[in-house]
Structure formats: C-alpha cells, structure tokens
Chains A and B, each alone.
Chain A
Amino acid sequence: MSIATAHTHAVALPASRSGTLTGFWASVRFIVRRNWIRLIVWAVVLAAMIPVVYNSQQEAFPTQAARDAYAQVANTPAVAAMTGLPYAAGSLGGILVIKIWMTLAIALAFASIFLVTRNGRADEEAGRTEMLRSSALGRHAFSLANYAVVGGLSVVAGALISLLCLAEKLPTAGSLVMGASIAGAGLAFVGVSAICGQLSATSRGANTLGVAILAVFYFIRAAADLQAKGAQVSAISWFSPIGWAQNMRPFGQDTWWPLLALLALAIAGCAVALRIETHRDMGMGILPERRGSARASEFLTHPVGLVLRLQRAPLISWMLGAVVAGLFFGGVAQAMTTALEPSSAFAKAFAGDSSNMLDGILGIFVLFTALLAGAFAVQCVTGARTEEAEGRLESQLAGALSRSRWLWAHVLVAAVGSALMLLLGGYLTGVASNGAATGSQLAGAAFAYWPAVLLMLGVPLFLQGFLPRLSTSLAWAIYGISVVIAMFGGLFSLSESVISATPFGAVPRLMTENFTVLPLLVLSVIAVALAVLGFWRFSNRDITPA
C-alpha cells in the first residue's frame, strides 16, 4: 500500500533536473506515515521533561537565597563531567540547564541515530529499499527524505522545548536558545548518522558506529568541562559538536552563532552521505563486514563461559553504570547536602528522617547502586528464558548438559556479577565522597543489599520453572514495583512497615539505621527457597519454546 503511494506520486511529480530527487515528497509522506508514532513520542517525551524538571527544581530551590547557595557549590568535577559546566546556577533557568540540557541533547542525538538507521540502512538490509528503488524513485529521494524527516523531529522538539520554557515564564532569549541548542545537537547527529548508514552494511553496525561517535564527542566535551577555569570554556570544547551546542549557553550568554556550525555539520554530513550513495552498490557498505573467529575457545564452550559471552554487553554496561554512578554520587554528595533544605518535603522524602543529612543522602546513593545490580541480576536470569524461547536451549540440552547445570551457569554469572557491582559501586561512592565516608564503609553498606539482589534472582528463577512464558515480563514487573517503593515510597506516604516489607526496603541503610542481620537472613532464605523450587520445577517440566 505504501509502496503504491510512493510509486504513483513518483510518476505524478515532474522529474527534477538530475532526476535523483524524483519522488522526494512521496518518500517524506511514506516515512512520516511509517514513523509518526515514534516521532511524536520522542518529541513529546523530551519536551515534557522541561515542566517536570522545572517544577521539581523550583521546589528544591524555592528561594533566591537557596539558589545562590547552590551556585556556590554547583561547580563540582562530577557535575561538570556529567552534565556540563554550570555557568548560571544562581537562576532557575541555569539550574534547568544543569539538570536536563545534557540529557535532552544526548537523547535527541540518540533519536536521530536510531531513526536515520531505521529508515535507511535497516530498510536497505531487509531488501525494502531495493523494491522502492525499482519504481520511479530518484536515487537520493528516499535517503534525503529520511534525513529531512528525522531532522524535522529535532526542529519540532526544539520548538516545543522553547515554547514550554516560555510557558514557565523563563526569559525569552534563553528559552529560544535552549530549544535551538538542543535541536542543533539533534541535527548535527542526523548528519553523522547519515554517513554511518552509508559506511556500514548492517543496521546494527550503523547504530554502533553512530553511538560510538556520540560517546567520543560526549567524552571530549566532558574532558573540556573538567579543564575549564571557573565558568570560562576550555578550547577542547570546540572539538565536539555537543560542545558547540553547549556553548550557546541558554540562560547565560545566549550565543547564537554556534548553531551555524551545527547546521553546517548537519548539511555537510548529509551531502557526503548522498555522495557515497552515488558511488556504492545497492546493499553494500564501505566498511567491510566484520568477521569473527572460526573456532570457539575452550572458555566459550564451557556453559559458564558461554553465558558470560552472551551477557557480556549487559555485564559491561551495568558495571560501567555502577562505576559512573558511584563516582558521580560520591562527588556530589557533599554539595547536595549543603544545597538541599533539610526541612523541605523533597529532602525528607529522599533522605528519610535521619538527623544526619549527609548519611541519608549516601544511603540513597548506595540503594541506587543496589538497584543497578538488581537490574543486572534480572536481565541475566531472564536471559536464560530467552535462550529457551528462541529455541537455542534444545540444541544445548541435546548435548551432554543437564538442565540444572545449564541454569546454574546463569545464576552464577548473575550472583557474582551483581556482588562485584555492589562492592565496586559502593567503594567508588565512598572514595569519591571527599571523606564523607570511606570506600570500604560504603562497599560494606552496598554489599548488605546482596540478599535483596539475590531475591531479584530467585524470583525469575522461580518463574522460569513455573511460568516460563510469562517469566520475563513478570520478573521485570516485580523488580519495577520493588524499585518504585524503595525509591519513592516515602514520597507516596507509604508507611515504613510497608516499605520494609519489600526487597530493597527491607535492607537496613547502614548509614542511617541500626544495623540488624535478621532482614538479610529472611531475604536470603526466601531467595534460596524460590531458586530451589524454580530449579526443581525446571528440571521436571517440558522445554517450551515461545
């Protein structure tokens, strides 16, 4: 149906001079029709962050005095590295930039990369582009339409962001630059991902390359912001398009000219991509397809080795998450303690009634590390169900491998991996906390959550035995509910007895509560019981692919 549309329009439209753009508008409509839900969700979710974050910051820093106090301490290395140089922390607009600008810019860059690949290289890989191109469609029409539609997302998202800033009665000039700078970052990565989609022959390769470039540019600007003297920008910043967008400085200097550089990058990227498209064959890339080893190592053929290999990406990314979160939280703990009004509802809900605000905040950070480790545990054990659902378990069990040994490999990786994550995350929080706590103190506090994490491991194991088809979604749902209650139970005015009846709420926060071993024992016993039942049932039931 969509193909037919493209075709008839292509015929109806007068051919352009070279003919390579014949069918451009039909392609635009086709791409919008195929992606409109995604486009709307991206634009609305990103823009909606503005009022949400603005209101929470207004609550956290209700008075100009509070904001001035925050401005004194905002410029920590952790803040500079993660979210950029705080150059106007004494105003609500400036605080909004610190809290959300980097998230929005990076998210929009991700959206650009994924959407350009989805409509470009992924379609070509699946053979759909070939079918379109066999009709009266110019060589560049579809690609250019793709870049235009995804670029349009950046423009619309930027415009919405500006409008919502204005709606919050933020300064006009700053509001406009806020939206424009974020849109500029998105547009720059339309250009980058356009080239990636021409270089790689697979959609996975195109996405990986795009995200890798984004990561490099992010770290270049992080290094630049760490090098900065006060609010004075470092020259390194100009080596990253994210740096260019940052240097538009909404609610600060409100500079417009870096936007030109961002637009130039977008246009140049698309132009180069189209040029490559002219010179390459349909379906081919410029980069060679990556080959792998023809042999499996001794390690890989061991059940535990195979699970480690299959879980490598989650293991590394969650571990990195624990490291970055640990360093960041440790770094901002002192600053946050000084900045937050201890009496505000916001502070109380988060840190509890602890007399010592700093300990309360460190307790929250340790809990956060535990939630990361719990997520890894759930992902690793539900990975076992994925193997079964996708039919790969049958071939393995047809070898001389028992079911319990196979499942045990997943449990081992999940249990040891999460323990390491807890120790590392806790330790780094302590080390980075400038003496608020020692590394070993917080490593111990984090490790106290291991029984709760083991429970997050026992639940999917039990489900793997008894409800295999539902196990993945149920396990994540139970994890999600546990997280929400542990993090926000106080904000929802849940009673302490309810919170401490949930896995992560049951663990005493070493820093603030009197430490008792009993809850840890109870959690461990439940976890082991669920796991044993799950193992027993799994060893005795039919293997059920999806």
Chain B
Amino acid sequence: MSTNVAAIEVLGLRKQFGQTTALDGLDLVVEQGIVAGFLGPNGSGKSTTIRILLGLLRSGGGTARLLGGDPWRDAVDLHRRIAYVPGDVSLWPNLTGGQAIDILSRLRGGVDTAKRDALLARFDLDPTKKARSYSKGNRQKVALVAGLASDAELLILDEPTSGLDPLMEEVFTECIREVKAQGRSVLLSSHIFAEVEKLCDTVTIIRDGKTVEAGRLEELRHLHRTMVSVVLDRDASVLAAVTGVNDLVTDGNKATFTVGEAELGGVLAAIAAYSPHSLISSPPSLEDLFLRHYGGVGKFAETTVGQKAGAR
C-alpha cells in the first residue's frame, strides 16, 4: 500500500445524537506503522469516533479517512484491510467460541488456521465451549483471537483488554509488539495508562468530543513539568523562594514540587546549596498528562506525590 497515506486521518469530526453532541471537532491522525493511543474518559467520544471509522455511524461533519478511503462509502472494501476488536464483545450464545472466531474471521476474508490455533493456545481459550458459558474475559479473548489472527494492515481496538487478567494482558502486549514489528498500524483506545505508555508511539487525548492533546509521547512529556522529591538538611519551605518551583508541598525537611524543562538547571543549582540528602526526579507520566486535562492541577499534585516517591 502507498506509505504516504495515513492509516487514519480525522479532522474536525462532528456527530450529534439528538440534542447531545458526541463529537465536536475531533482530530485524530494515525500514521502507518504506528501504534497510536486513544485516551479519554467514559462518554468522551472514543467509541463514537471508532464507529464512524467503521462506517457503522454516519459522520455529522468534518472529514474522516481510513487507509485513504471513505469509511462510509468504501466500508466493505476497507474492512478487508482492517480488524476490529470491540470493548464489549457480544457473541451468539448457542455457538461455540471457535465458531464465532471462524465466522468473524471469514467475514474479513479468511482464516489463517495456524495463527488462529497459536493464538488460542497463547490466550488459553477453549474454543469448544458455547459462548453462553464464557466469562467477560473469555468473550474478549474470542474477539482478540479473531482480530489478531488476521493480517490486517490496521487494527482498531476499543478497550480490548477489559476483563483480561494481568497474565493475559501481558500476552496482548506481546501480540501488539509483534504487529508493530511487522509494520502494521494500531489504534488502541484504552483506559489503562500503563498499557498505552508501554505500547504506543503517539497519544491522542480527547475530552467532550474534542482533541485536547496529541503527539508523540516523548514530545508531550517535554512540554510538561518534571516531578521532583527532595529531602534537605533544613526546613524545605526555603524552596518557595526559588524561581521555577511550582506546586510545592512541604513536610518538614521533605518537599515535592514540579519544575518546567527550562528552569530545571537553575532549580537544581539552588537545591545544591541546601545539601540535599536525596533527590528523585520523574518525568510526567501519561496519567499526569491525562489528569492535568481532566482533574485540574490540584488533584494532579495530590494524586502523584505519594505514588511517585514510592515508584522511583
């Protein structure tokens, strides 16, 4: 396929459901060969965007291109080249998991039996059980096996690991790394920050149907402040006078604060004068970026101080 066409290109996408605005000018670009994270709280429009990309919903304005095609008009042709894993998998209760995998796979084109069987073993799924008796996690595995067994150019995954245990999440991570190594593209909508940080090259964060942050993860980190925890030889409130120190919280000799990239050198020099016993600095996590947009700065400071000190 032509490499200069983006796998997904969404600009100013809009969608109304009656009086409710689901999407209000959303942008989302996924270049080919990239694993793209798609973050947002419940009801922010992630699934609506994905459904428009799948041609299940009609766009209400703006442009949406999938592998260079029109997701509504060219739906059937495009779907031969993509695989979709929904977050809430609904199966035919009286068919087995194996039958459902074959039906879904063959609708896309065909079944790679060897790959399918290998995935069944890796995800530890019994394909002879009726879907009625599957747990949520097992239904999710059915959709994952069907999706991952394909050789689709683009995988669209809508919270694909909900209901999976940590072991199976690890298997999923491996599978996505393999997909990436083959140069295929992935759109991963998720709630799990660790998963996105581990897997994704780029991140798009949305809120109320609008994109609020998008870019490569490292770039986004640069734009945001580093979290620093220090223990000084005196009362840490002296740090309040240092330029560049923000969100300062002190507890006797201990202090935590954030600092922008540009001021980091000056702040470190100032701290050196107070002969610090320990210093831990951590780059902003995806969770910090996310909460910055949703919870506000105050919440950001509260939630991260304790965690970071313990984590690094």
- A interface residues with partner B (beta carbon < 8 Å): 202, 204, 289-296, 300-301, 306, 309-310, 390-392, 394-402, 540-543
CB within 8 Å for A294 and B96 given contacts A394-B54, A398-B84, A399-B107: yes
CB within 8 Å for A292 and B109 given contacts A397-B56, A398-B84, A401-B76: no
Q: How far is the CB of A527 from chain B (nearest CB, A)?
A: 27
In the complex, besides A296-B100, A396-B103, 18 extra interface pairs with C-beta distance below 8 angstroms are A289-B129, A289-B133, A290-B130, A293-B99, A293-B128, A300-B95, A300-B102, A310-B92, A394-B86, A395-B90, A397-B55, A397-B75, A398-B54, A398-B79, A399-B79, A400-B76, A400-B80, A543-B51
Give 18 pairs: A residue, B residue, CB < 8 Å, sorted on A. A290-B130, A291-B129, A291-B130, A292-B128, A293-B96, A294-B98, A295-B102, A296-B99, A296-B100, A300-B95, A301-B106, A391-B90, A394-B56, A395-B86, A397-B55, A399-B104, A399-B106, A543-B51
Q: Contacts of B103 on A, CB cut-off 8 Å?
A: 296, 300-301, 306, 396
A99 to B290, CA, bound (A): 72
Mark contacts of B75-90 with chain A using CB atoms, 8 A cut-off: 1 yes-contact digit, 0 otherwise. Answer: 1110110111010111
Whether the Cβ atoms of A543 and B107 lie closer than 8 Å is no
A397 to B71, CA, bound (A): 12
Whether a CB of chain A sits under 8 angstroms from the CB of B57 is: yes
Whether the Cβ atoms of B56 and A292 lie closer than 8 Å is no
A301 to B100, CA, bound (A): 9
A501 to B132, CA, bound (A): 45
Residue of A nearest to B100 (CB): A296
Whether the Cβ atoms of A395 and B77 lie closer than 8 Å is no
- B interface residues with partner A (beta carbon < 8 Å): 51, 54-58, 75-77, 79-80, 82-84, 86, 88-92, 95-96, 98-104, 106-109, 127-130, 132-133, 143
A306 to B102, CA, bound (A): 11
Interface core residue of A294, A394, A543 (most chain B CB under 10 Å)? A294
Q: How far is the CB of A5 from chain B (nearest CB, A)?
A: 31
Q: How far is the CB of A363 from chain B (nearest CB, A)?
A: 39
A543 to B132, CA, bound (A): 24
Q: How far is the CB of A327 from chain B (nearest CB, A)?
A: 30
Whether the Cβ atoms of B133 and A392 lie closer than 8 Å is no
A56 to B107, CA, bound (A): 55
Q: How far is the CB of B88 from chain A (nearest CB, A)?
A: 7
Q: Contacts of B101 on A, CB cut-off 8 Å?
A: 296
Whether the Cβ atoms of A292 and B79 lie closer than 8 Å is no
Q: Contacts of B95 on A, CB cut-off 8 Å?
A: 292, 296, 300, 309
A296 to B111, CA, bound (A): 11
Q: Contacts of A540 on B, CB cut-off 8 Å?
A: 58
Residue of B nearest to A309 (CB): B95
Whether the Cβ atoms of A399 and B108 lie closer than 8 Å is yes
Whether the Cβ atoms of A392 and B91 lie closer than 8 Å is yes
Q: Contacts of B143 on A, CB cut-off 8 Å?
A: 395
A310 to B91, CA, bound (A): 12
Q: Contacts of B128 on A, CB cut-off 8 Å?
A: 291-294
Q: Contacts of A289 on B, CB cut-off 8 Å?
A: 129, 133
Interface of A is mostly: loop
Q: Contacts of A399 on B, CB cut-off 8 Å?
A: 79, 104, 106-108
Q: How far is the CB of A387 from chain B (nearest CB, A)?
A: 9
Q: Contacts of A291 on B, CB cut-off 8 Å?
A: 96, 128-130
The 10 A-B residue pairs with the shortest CB-CB distance, nearest first, are: A399-B107, A296-B102, A292-B96, A294-B98, A391-B90, A398-B84, A301-B106, A296-B99, A294-B127, A291-B128
CB within 8 Å for A392 and B99 given contacts A293-B128, A398-B84, A400-B109: no
Whether the Cβ atoms of A395 and B76 lie closer than 8 Å is no
A295 to B130, CA, bound (A): 12
Q: Contacts of A398 on B, CB cut-off 8 Å?
A: 54, 56, 79, 82-84
Task: Choose from A292, A295, A300, A402 the contact partner of B76 (Cβ within 8 Å).
Answer: A402
Q: Contacts of B83 on A, CB cut-off 8 Å?
A: 398
A289 to B84, CA, bound (A): 31
A398 to B53, CA, bound (A): 10
Q: Contacts of A202 on B, CB cut-off 8 Å?
A: 132-133
A401 to B109, CA, bound (A): 10
A543 to B58, CA, bound (A): 9
Whether the Cβ atoms of B102 and A395 lie closer than 8 Å is no
Task: Choose from A294, A295, A309, A542 the contact partner of B56 (Cβ within 8 Å).
Answer: A542
Q: How far is the CB of B302 from chain A (nearest CB, A)?
A: 38
Interface core residue of A301, A390, A400, A402 (most chain B CB under 10 Å)? A400
Residue of B nearest to A401 (CB): B107
A339 to B207, CA, bound (A): 76
Residue of A nearest to B81 (CB): A400
Q: Contacts of B88 on A, CB cut-off 8 Å?
A: 391
A394 to B91, CA, bound (A): 11
CB within 8 Å for A397 and B54 given contacts A289-B133, A292-B99: yes
Residue of A nearest to B55 (CB): A397
Residue of B nearest to A302 (CB): B106
Q: How far is the CB of B271 from chain A (nearest CB, A)?
A: 54
Q: Contacts of B55 on A, CB cut-off 8 Å?
A: 397
A522 to B51, CA, bound (A): 40
A6 to B92, CA, bound (A): 37
Q: How far is the CB of B82 from chain A (nearest CB, A)?
A: 8
CB within 8 Å for A300 and B99 given contacts A398-B84, A399-B104, A400-B109: yes
Q: Contacts of A293 on B, CB cut-off 8 Å?
A: 96, 98-99, 128
Q: Contacts of A396 on B, CB cut-off 8 Å?
A: 103-104, 107
A292 to B102, CA, bound (A): 13
Whether the Cβ atoms of A400 and B98 lie closer than 8 Å is no
Task: Choose from A301, A400, A543 the contact partner of B102 (Cβ within 8 Å).
Answer: A301
Q: Contacts of A541 on B, CB cut-off 8 Å?
A: 58
Residue of A nearest to B58 (CB): A542
Q: Contacts of A309 on B, CB cut-off 8 Å?
A: 95
Q: How far is the CB of B80 from chain A (nearest CB, A)?
A: 4
A540 to B57, CA, bound (A): 9
Residue of A nearest to B130 (CB): A292
Q: Contacts of A292 on B, CB cut-off 8 Å?
A: 95-96, 98-99, 128-130
Q: Contacts of A300 on B, CB cut-off 8 Å?
A: 95, 99, 102-103
A185 to B88, CA, bound (A): 45
Residue of B nearest to A201 (CB): B133
Whether the Cβ atoms of B80 and A543 lie closer than 8 Å is no
Whether the Cβ atoms of B90 and A390 lie closer than 8 Å is yes
A543 to B96, CA, bound (A): 25
Q: Contacts of A543 on B, CB cut-off 8 Å?
A: 51, 56-57
A136 to B56, CA, bound (A): 53
Q: Contacts of A397 on B, CB cut-off 8 Å?
A: 54-56, 75, 79
Residue of B nearest to A303 (CB): B107
Whether the Cβ atoms of B84 and A395 lie closer than 8 Å is yes
Residue of A nearest to B90 (CB): A391
Interface core residue of B79, B95, B99, B132 (most chain A CB under 10 Å)? B99
